[in-house]
């Protein structure tokens, strides 16, 4: 990696970082991690990482490039001859990992200017306690650690490159070594995505390339190829065009739409194309001609990311905006202001995170989903990323966080946050995994680069169980309390919105206000249950919903009776909110001393 050899090549930022650190003598052992299974464009060709390293980054300045992996053993990528191969393999015969590393070291000392590339490094240097390592694994770990500190090997222009998807897969003994540099390979940015789309779809108009690049954040180059490659495995461009034209036959602008959709359905089977394209829903006459194509891209992007994350995340798909939320006017005003800042790209006014607190059934989940629609944010929810295998939980979390960050702007939604961020961060029964996971999430939440790009949203009815450090400003800036409707008018507004959502009109707000007068303490979930019961009664009676049927539903419904717990959760929400204007009138004048006293009494009563 000499200065002259590398300067004539347009290197990715990560590759230039490797070169600079190597030339400065900072390290001669590098760990390349994160987006290591992608394709990298060089000289008009898409290369795997190993091929990019051997054919571009190292090619002109290393006399020999050797790859060593568990599956393929030792093989020369450059600079070999028959004698070299025979000497190396004869020395390795029957000597295991220790013999292999001994042979590689001998090769570097006797013939300097050698690069050793080790893909799937986690299989050779697993992240586990030393006493769990085999003797071979200990020998390999010790050898590599010693190489990184050996000045003679570094002076001989030798370099070792380890490749792993997650740093959590690598033994920490290596990563804490000051002479080992870990270099992250990020997901492609918009410019890199544009270049990849041009490479795989050279005939695509430049305006369409730019729009596709803007809507494919979070996808790898290899995934872009599966969307836009004109030719390759599966149906050809012409075959896709013919099939889509048949599906869209008789709809407006069928030919132009078919051509655009054929551009972004590479790698799909006929059945997948049929599921993607809905001829029954043609675009509006005055709609953007690219909208149908972009909607198909977003659908494919979701499928690819969910497949890659293998059940670790789930996309949140809100169907309604805040206009369908009844009541909660103070909360809607606050969320609308945040949504406007997010849509405008105003990073100064965009919070790092939101904490939605309040008793169960107060509408937290529904309102937050509506907020996502209002803000135009893609929402993903964390699923069960924990694993019983050593290092797998941390590796899963890193994969999720890397994907989320690359997809920004995005919202990461964590429901029942007290279970994920319980006070204390877990116990020692899991070997400290819970503590490490929570520490990593805290670090990610407070990263200032995420402001305006990744919005954390935690929802809980027990904020007292959250780790206090999670709730500080800079992680969860806005704490939004949710309460049950205080008055008959507010309950009527909620019911009106629910009936409108389910197509059950017929009752005006004034009538509903009278009917809701005796429903004090009903949650939004209770009100929805009553409204649906009334609609069920109307269906049985074969007539439209009226006041008598609604009154019958009110009389028949029995709400939950956990009054102490609900009161406790309401007071916890009061204690958490940092803005008095977000509280209902019955709590605005409550003193801090009275709040603490009632919380203590309720806590004691509930514990009994």
ω into residue 263 within 30 of 0, thus cis?
no
Instruction: Give the three-state DSSP class for 180.
Output: strand
Q: Look up the pTM and report it.
A: 0.76
pLDDT on residue 289:
57
pLDDT grade, residue 7 (50/70/90)?
very low
CB 597 within 8 A of CB 492: no
How many Cβ atoms sit within 10 Å of the Cβ of residue 16? 15
pLDDT on residue 87:
46
pLDDT on residue 4:
45
pLDDT on residue 304:
83
pLDDT on residue 187:
92
pLDDT over threshold 70, residue 88: no
pLDDT over threshold 50, residue 425: no
pLDDT over threshold 80, residue 294: no
Fold of 3-185: Rossmann fold (3.40.50)
pLDDT over threshold 80, residue 558: yes
pLDDT over threshold 60, residue 271: yes
pLDDT grade, residue 300 (50/70/90)?
confident
Q: Between the ranges 66-80, 406-420, 471-485, where is the mean pLDDT highest?
A: 471-485
pLDDT tens digits for range 520-544: 989 999 999 999 999 999 999 988 8
Query: From CA 471, how far away is CA 278, in angstroms rounded?
Result: 45
Fold of 313-481: Rossmann fold (3.40.50)
pLDDT on residue 181:
96
pLDDT on residue 188:
93
Query: From CA 411, how far away is CA 353, in angstroms rounded?
Result: 9
pLDDT over threshold 80, residue 379: yes
- Of all residues in the chain, the percent with pLDDT exceeding 70 is 89
66: region left, alpha or beta (phi > 0 left; psi from -120 to 50 alpha):
beta
Query: From CA 141, how far away is CA 278, in angstroms rounded?
Result: 55
Task: Give the lowest-confidence range in 46-55, 69-78, 390-399.
Answer: 390-399
pLDDT on residue 588:
86
Query: From CA 63, how far away is CA 76, in angstroms rounded?
Result: 11
Query: From CA 310, how far away is CA 516, in angstroms rounded?
Result: 46
More confident residue, 3 or 434: 434
pLDDT on residue 285:
54
More confident residue, 484 or 313: 484
């Amino acid at each position: 990696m000499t200065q002259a050899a590398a300067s004539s090549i347009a290197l990715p930022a990560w590759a230039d970082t490797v070169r600079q650190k190597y030339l400065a003598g900072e390290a001669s052992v590098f760990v390349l991690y994160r987006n290591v299974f992608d394709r990298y464009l060089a000289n008009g060709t898409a290369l795997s990482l190993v091929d990019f390293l051997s054919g571009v980054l190292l090619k002109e300045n290393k006399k020999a490039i050797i790859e060593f992996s568990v599956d393929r053993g030792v093989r020369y990528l450059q600079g070999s001859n028959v004698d070299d191969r025979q000497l190396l393999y004869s020395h390795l015969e029957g000597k295991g990992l220790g013999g292999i590393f001994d042979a590689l070291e001998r090769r570097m000392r006797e013939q300097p200017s050698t690069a050793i590339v080790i893909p799937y490094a986690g299989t050779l240097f697993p992240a586990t306690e030393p006493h769990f390592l085999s003797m071979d694994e200990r020998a390999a770990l010790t050898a590599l650690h010693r190489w990184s500190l050996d000045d003679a090997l570094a002076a001989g222009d030798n370099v070792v490159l380890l490749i792993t998807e997650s740093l959590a897969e690598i033994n920490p003994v290596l990563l804490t070594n000051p002479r080992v540099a870990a270099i992250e390979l990020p997901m492609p940015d918009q410019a890199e995505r544009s270049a990849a789309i041009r490479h795989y779809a050279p005939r695509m108009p430049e305006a369409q390339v730019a729009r596709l690049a803007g809507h494919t954040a979070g996808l790898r180059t290899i995934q872009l190829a599966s969307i836009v490659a004109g030719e390759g495995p599966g149906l050809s461009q012409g075959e896709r065009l013919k099939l889509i034209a048949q599906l869209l036959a008789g709809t407006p602008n069928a030919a132009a739409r078919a051509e655009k959709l054929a551009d972004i359905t590479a790698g799909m089977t006929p059945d997948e194309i049929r599921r993607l394209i809905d001829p029954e829903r043609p675009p509006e006459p005055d709609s953007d001609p690219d909208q149908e194509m972009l909607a198909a891209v977003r659908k494919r992007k979701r499928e690819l990311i969910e497949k890659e994350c293998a059940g670790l995340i789930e996309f949140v798909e809100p169907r309604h905006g805040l206009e369908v939320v009844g009541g909660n006017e103070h909360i809607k005003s606050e969320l609308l202001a945040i949504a406007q800042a997010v849509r405008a790209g105003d990073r100064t006014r965009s919070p790092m995170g939101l904490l939605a607190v309040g008793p169960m059934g107060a509408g937290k989940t529904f309102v937050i989903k509506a907020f996502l629609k209002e803000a135009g944010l893609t929402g993903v929810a964390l699923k069960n990323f924990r694993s019983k295998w050593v290092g797998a939980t941390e590796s899963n979390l890193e994969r999720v966080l890397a994907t989320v960050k690359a997809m920004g702007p995005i919202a990461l939604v964590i429901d029942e946050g007290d279970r994920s961020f319980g006070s204390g961060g877990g116990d020692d029964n899991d070997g400290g995994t819970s503590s490490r996971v929570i520490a990593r999430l805290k670090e990610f939440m407070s990263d200032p680069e995420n402001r305006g790009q990744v919005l954390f949203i935690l929802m809980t009815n027990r904020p007292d169980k959250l780790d206090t450090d999670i709730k500080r400003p800079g992680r969860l800036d806005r704490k939004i309390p949710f309460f049950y409707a205080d008055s008959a008018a507010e309950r009527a507004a909620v019911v009106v919105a629910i009936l409108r959502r389910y197509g059950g009109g017929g009752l005006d707000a004034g009538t509903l206000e009278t009917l809701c007068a005796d429903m004090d303490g009903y949650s939004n979930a209770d009100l929805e249950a009553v409204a649906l019961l009334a609609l069920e009664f109307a269906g049985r009676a074969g007539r439209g919903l009226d006041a008598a049927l609604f009154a019958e539903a009110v009389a028949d419904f029995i709400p939950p009776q956990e009054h102490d717990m609900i009161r406790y959760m309401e007071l916890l929400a009061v204690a958490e909110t940092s803005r008095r204007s977000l509280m209902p009138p019955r709590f605005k004048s409550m003193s801090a001393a009275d709040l603490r006293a009632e919380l203590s009494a309720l806590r004691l009563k509930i514990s009994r």
